Structure 1
Amino acid sequence: MSEQISPYTGWTRAEWAGLADHLLDSAWRHASPTGARITPPGAPGGYGTAVDGLEGFARTFLLAGFRIAGEHGRDPGNLLERYAQGIAAGTDPHSPERWVTPREHGQAKVEAASIALILDLTRPWLWDNLDAGVQARVVDYLAQVVGDHTYPQTNWVWFRIVVEQFLASVGGPWSPDDIEADLARHESFARDGGWYCDGPERSYDHYAGWALHLYPIMWSRMAGAQERAAPLLPEYTRRLDRYLLDAVRLVGADGSPLIQGRSLAYRFAAAAPFWAGAVAGSDALAPGLLRRAASGIVKHFADRGAPDEDGLLTLGWFHPWRRIAQRYSGPGSPYWASKGLLGLALPAEHPVWTAVEQPLPVEQADQLAVITAPGWALSATAADGVVRVYNHGTDHARRGDRSTDSPLYARLGYSTATAPAMDDDGWDSPLDQSVVLLDTHGEATHRSGFTTLDVRAEGDAAVLASRARCHWVKPDRDAPDHGSGYPGDALDAATVTTVSVVRGAWEVRLIHVDPAGAPGWEQVTALRVGGWPVPAAAADDRSIPVVARPRPAAGALAVSTDLAEGPASDGTAAPRPVSGGPAGPLVDGSARPVAEAVGTTLTSTAVGLHGLDVAGVHTVHDATPIAEHTAIPWLQTRPGRAAWHVAAFALNGGGRWPLAQISGPEDAPVVRVTWPDQATTTAALPLTGPHHHAQNRSSAA
């Protein structure tokens, strides 16, 4: 039966239910005596153990509620009684296990929303059977959010909407003004293509799907919400439909979601927007495709160690890895992954459970899409099932900011098979998928606050461009950790324009460096550009193929630069990887620096096409949640003033690389890219010079 209905994942509703029950049973082994707090083992989070226990209760309550609702109230696991006892104790101000209140701590506002949502969803089986005194205490607890003006103006607005909607439905205090203000703030987050930005910064990540699309659909179905939601729901659904067309393309063939953005410890919460589509009756994706995407994501983790052997979700990805979490995260936090199991709230007879799975887009053909709102181009290859995203619009900052780069947001590329380096160097000195200037101490600049210049399709390719006032930063490490880079004292190094021309597995990256008006230019010793970070087998740089033209630039990393000479297409000697990998064709007869990181399953290639002298591979240890070692190819040179430098980067790019030629007058430059299959792309390059830089600085202020 599973092979007939789920030919891609093998997962049916039975597997989903089994996982949910396993997660709940395992979490409850760490409940307090009354069940008011569930605190899985692990170091306390940044908000303390009382908040950790509330998170564990509220977030597993989400999953329990989905399970009960989907079974029409049947409860063989006795979940209703257990959570009812926990609610009674948690809302009792005299209980030693009482919950932290919304007035006492902001995190309680988040957890209150999960409690309210499930009390509404399971109303006939739980709320209606609570003692009147317990009901009154629940109302008193939740009512603390009414009129509260300290909610962050992000996806948090939905936590107040959901709580006040429940309060209104049970005769408790609530404020129509609060709900109207929060709904209006939500509207301010709406962007092109059905996307939402999580607040005023350029914060595009999984919150667009697992929060900003999920809550409107769930709220519209809460008791008493229909009249207010009715005029809004068509637009919410339209946006969700459009977003799902992008979201389904962002799932790798192995089920991996894009490894980008904060809160990645929530893992398969990334499946939530697909279930939201099923709940909303979306016709953008067929029910079998919605389930294929959701099952693929959850199975991706279940097959790789999450939950762990004790049935617990830890702070990590496949396995525990604390760096992936924010400073405030605790052992109960990962259970927001429960959102990814929302489909269990739909009964077994729902079409999303009875339809046959359909293949993901990447399983059908190569994909290329421009996603305007976050400033991304998506390129996926069916041969390896990997989805790549090239980023010229997202940094979790505002235009003109001068913070450090967050590796979770500000890199030039992300994928479903690689993770950005998140160790200390990954935060302080960007290497993977970066363009930086190095100073005399080897410290790298940051690009957060850049201006997006272009995001467009160009035939069967995509062209993206951005311009940054690159800067060094002395970071303030005491700043709150919400995924952004660190603020601090900044020093401008130069204005750097970066263009990505993307097709298939390859990116041609063009970099223009202009020192005009930058006080730190005299400290610049090198331009360094980095490629895809790939999981590697060992940490020895010399064990990874490296090729470089033997003319080092200042500040070059110490790597092997042994060359193996071989004939190029024009008969001249061309360097190739010492492992015997391929050399690419030349247009000017000169040797090209090439670095190839051959990982455990992926190959990352960097080729200097023009103006780059040295290539190498740098290996880092324990820098990502998906591998012990990560190899990153890089290219480097001493930057020329007002000159274009050109490189090609690939993740699983194959044997030959693209070529690029810049032509035209200075005020109208054009690049012509010849791809490995001899197809060509011609694109206008952004104008450069003091006038245009001044305009950008003005617009970024």
Structure 2
Amino acid sequence: MSTTPTDWTRDEWLAYADRLLAGARRWASPTGARITPPGAEGGYGHDVDGLEGFARTFLLAGFRIAGERGAGVDELIDFYSRGIAAGVDPSNPERWVRMTEHAQAKVEAASIALILDMTRPWIWDRLGATTQQRVIDYLAPVVGDDTYPPTNWLWFRVVVQTFLRSVGGPWSPDDIAADLALHDRLQRADGWISDGPEQAYDHYVGWALHLYPVLWSRMQGAAELAAGRTARDVAALDRYLLDATALVGGDGSPLVQGRSLIYRFAAAAPFWAGVFAEVPSTSAGMLRHAANRIVAHFADHGVPDGDGLLTMGWHHQWRRLAQGYSGPGSPYWAAKGLLGIALPADHPVWSAPAEPLPIEHGDVLRTIVAPGWVVSGTTTDGIVRVVNHGTDHATPGTLVGDSPLYARLGYSTVTAPLHDGRAWREPLEQSAVLVDRAGSATHRAAIELLGVRRDADVAVAASVSTSHWIDPDGQQVHHGSGITGRASVAGRMTVCSVVRGPWELRLVRIDELAVAPDAVRLRMGGWALAGDGLESTAFDGVATVRRGALTSRISAVEANASARIETRHDASPIGEVAAVPVIETDAAAGVWRAALVTLDGADAASGPLSLRIDGLDATVTWPDSVTTVTRLIASRPAPDADR
């Protein structure tokens, strides 16, 4: 068992929060109504950027004020109170963008309403009657607005209307009932929640779809509106956290998967939500420790920067990681990861002994049914890997481009998906694709999950997809989903993964070909490594990339595959140069093609893999000489089959 790192004291949490607030507030407008840190203007314009900067830092300020019960934070209270008064004053040149002017105001309004409720005695109750009425008028357009997308946005309407109800403003019980019903329809197995009707599983599950029900339940009057649902919401969060704690890397990094990664340590939010909700299955000490490891990971990597600012990037500024609409105030949704400072110094969480994360306690091998993930974590290197067969941010039955953020076959806590323009057009890393003579690669979204299960020392997952090329549309909306365009079908492909430790045995079967077999090749890509000092080799069907002790390798099990390294520049938030090990072979239909895909940071055994397939039974002798027998998943089970 590895040693559990020492957690920050509450004073250290407060110091970090104060540093973030000080850095951002230096860029406030004269009235304080807008905070616009330096950086490229967001896709929604300068006015929205300023509102985001205010509302998202107001989250952090509100946690700070609530945690101190309003004592000793008068300057924060005064600053944000003045900003609110100016923001809702329709005659003030620094007034806020209204919901009727831009939809993004609906998002930011929820943060404002949430914190006005949380800090009610120190801010709302002290605002003048005119300002209070202007706040109500500013928030009122939410009522009856049916243009909210059917995603985590549902909670923005619920939170705002709950606050309006508590202060005598307009509200609609039908709106709230409809939104809560939508939340329930988005529920999936084991506490997971889809962010909309697509196969969309990412950090929004935790930092939005689980966080808001917990915070909403504590708002004034919410208990009456909840009608007894809170216990059910807490039970779902409780179950989700059992999986979420297993997704944190040994170095504290969250999984590098999904959109809005510039929110960074917002990934700590669901752990604090678990503390607030007093979930029964995970101790407060482990939940605080999980949040601490994530926030400290970024602090240790220079976040915030030398000016005390959160930039659009991961460990450093890298604008491509942001969505097209993101502006310089957007990263401050990271404030959610500091929710714990809203708990006062006498709360038991601050004295609870730290308990190790799953990856700090021992190797992890876990299946998560809803997103179709196999989770494999190895204590020796602290890496958590996800092999993905059910998540692509696409609507089932559609043919769209693969989003690098969602549709790749694997994600980890030490690698990042390639994220340049070419990556959206051409799946490369962590992929199994058909490539035509011109070098164009197929996509697999929307994928169909065939199943995921654990078999003793291995886990197995599989999916089937229609392999297709995409001729992109001229205009694209970059909100996380893959590119759209005219699809040309190449065939049908089944991919089955057998996972053990740092290894994935990837089995690919072309079930149907819609093109001539000699017109395409089958290509498989391994993990992308990025950064300085990359070393690579490729020969005899084995391609390897190394960065220090970290190794990414793909090895063909058949002898007739070629191997090479694909290099990309300015395509990864982790480093300027990225390299992907690749193998390629013929595209024969009806036979399994196999490769061993490795991501290892501790020099695990690198010997050959032996494979024998008898029907659907796969006998594998792994590089460390351990032999396993696994029944592959190659078709969807009948509804009444023994699962």
- TM-score, normalised to structure 2, is 0.96
Displacement after TM superposition at 1:78 (Å): 0.4
**What's 1:527 paired with?**
522
SS of the aligned residue for 2:50 comes to helix
**What's 2:105 paired with?**
108
**What's 2:539 paired with?**
547
Distance 1:251 1:69 in 2: 28
Contact 1:24–1:64 (Cα < 8 Å) also in 2:
yes
Which residue among 1, 24, 28 is the counterpart of 1:27? 24
**What's 2:56 paired with?**
59
* Pair 1:644 & 2:641 matched: no
SS of the aligned residue for 1:610 comes to coil
Which residue among 184, 188, 195 is the counterpart of 1:187? 184
Distance 1:60 1:372 in 2: 36
**What's 1:587 paired with?**
none
Displacement after TM superposition at 1:685 (Å): 3.2
**Which residue identity lines up with residue 20 of structure 2 in the other structure?**
L
Displacement after TM superposition at 1:598 (Å): 1.1
Distance 1:687 1:500 in 2: 10
Distance 1:521 1:158 in 2: 50
Displacement after TM superposition at 1:526 (Å): 1.2
Distance 2:502 2:450 in 1: 23
Contact 1:430–1:446 (Cα < 8 Å) also in 2:
yes
**Which residue identity lines up with residue 215 of structure 1 in the other structure?**
Y
Q: For residues 143-188 of structure 1, give each alpha carbon's deviation from its aligned partner in whole angstroms, at most 9, with x where no partner exists.
A: 0100000000000000000000000000000000000000000001
Query: Counterparts of 1:243-254 in structure 2 under 5 Å?
Result: 243-254=240-251
Query: Counterparts of 1:157-306 in structure 2 under 5 Å?
Result: 157-306=154-303
**What's 1:609 paired with?**
557
Q: 1:687 to 1:139 in 2, by over 3 A?
A: closer
Contact 1:202–1:396 (Cα < 8 Å) also in 2:
yes
**Which residue identity lines up with residue 374 of structure 2 in the other structure?**
A
**What's 1:568 paired with?**
none
Displacement after TM superposition at 1:627 (Å): 1.6
* Pair 1:14 & 2:11 matched: yes
Q: 1:77 to 1:611 in 2, by over 3 A?
A: farther
Displacement after TM superposition at 1:339 (Å): 0.4
* Pair 1:670 & 2:620 matched: no
**What's 2:641 paired with?**
none
**Which residue identity lines up with residue 145 of structure 2 in the other structure?**
D
Q: For residues 185-235 of structure 1, give each alpha carbon's deviation from its aligned partner in whole angstroms, at most 9, with x where no partner exists.
A: 000111111111100000000000000000000001100111222510111
Which residue among 528, 537, 545 is the counterpart of 2:532? 537
* Pair 1:654 & 2:614 matched: no
Q: For residues 369-426 of structure 1, give each alpha carbon's deviation from its aligned partner in whole angstroms, at most 9, with x where no partner exists.
A: 0000000000000000010000000000022211110000000000001001111221
**What's 2:38 paired with?**
41
SS of the aligned residue for 1:279 comes to helix
Distance 1:333 1:301 in 2: 17
SS of the aligned residue for 1:544 comes to strand
Q: 1:403 to 1:611 in 2, by over 3 A?
A: farther
Contact 1:61–1:83 (Cα < 8 Å) also in 2:
yes
SS of the aligned residue for 1:166 comes to helix
Q: Where in structure 1 are there 5+ consecutive unaligned residues?
A: 1-5, 549-592, 696-701
Contact 1:62–1:118 (Cα < 8 Å) also in 2:
yes
Percent identity over paired residues: 57
Distance 1:10 1:497 in 2: 45
Q: For residues 30-62 of structure 1, give each alpha carbon's deviation from its aligned partner in whole angstroms, at most 9, with x where no partner exists.
A: 001100000000111000000000000000000
Q: How many residues align?
A: 634
**What's 2:361 paired with?**
364
Larger radius of gyration: 1
Between 386-395 and 357-366, report the one with greater CA deviation.
Answer: 357-366
Displacement after TM superposition at 1:687 (Å): 4.8
Contact 1:51–1:100 (Cα < 8 Å) also in 2:
yes
Contact 1:508–1:658 (Cα < 8 Å) also in 2:
no
- TM-score, normalised to structure 1, is 0.88
Contact 2:200–2:393 (Cα < 8 Å) also in 1:
yes
Which residue among 600, 603, 618 is the counterpart of 2:566? 618
Q: Where in structure 2 are there 5+ consecutive unaligned residues?
A: 639-643
SS of the aligned residue for 1:485 comes to coil
Distance 2:605 2:568 in 1: 26
Displacement after TM superposition at 1:7 (Å): 6.0
**Which residue identity lines up with residue 682 of structure 1 in the other structure?**
V
SS of the aligned residue for 1:370 comes to strand
**Which residue identity lines up with residue 630 of structure 1 in the other structure?**
A
Distance 1:176 1:44 in 2: 38
Distance 2:323 2:376 in 1: 29
Q: 1:523 to 1:472 in 2, by over 3 A?
A: farther
Q: CA RMSD in A?
A: 1.7
**What's 1:133 paired with?**
130
Q: For residues 591-612 of structure 1, give each alpha carbon's deviation from its aligned partner in whole angstroms, at most 9, with x where no partner exists.
A: xx11111113410111100265
**Which residue identity lines up with residue 655 of structure 1 in the other structure?**
A
Displacement after TM superposition at 1:483 (Å): 0.4
**What's 1:118 paired with?**
115
Contact 1:9–1:299 (Cα < 8 Å) also in 2:
no
Q: For residues 326-346 of structure 1, give each alpha carbon's deviation from its aligned partner in whole angstroms, at most 9, with x where no partner exists.
A: 000000000000000000000
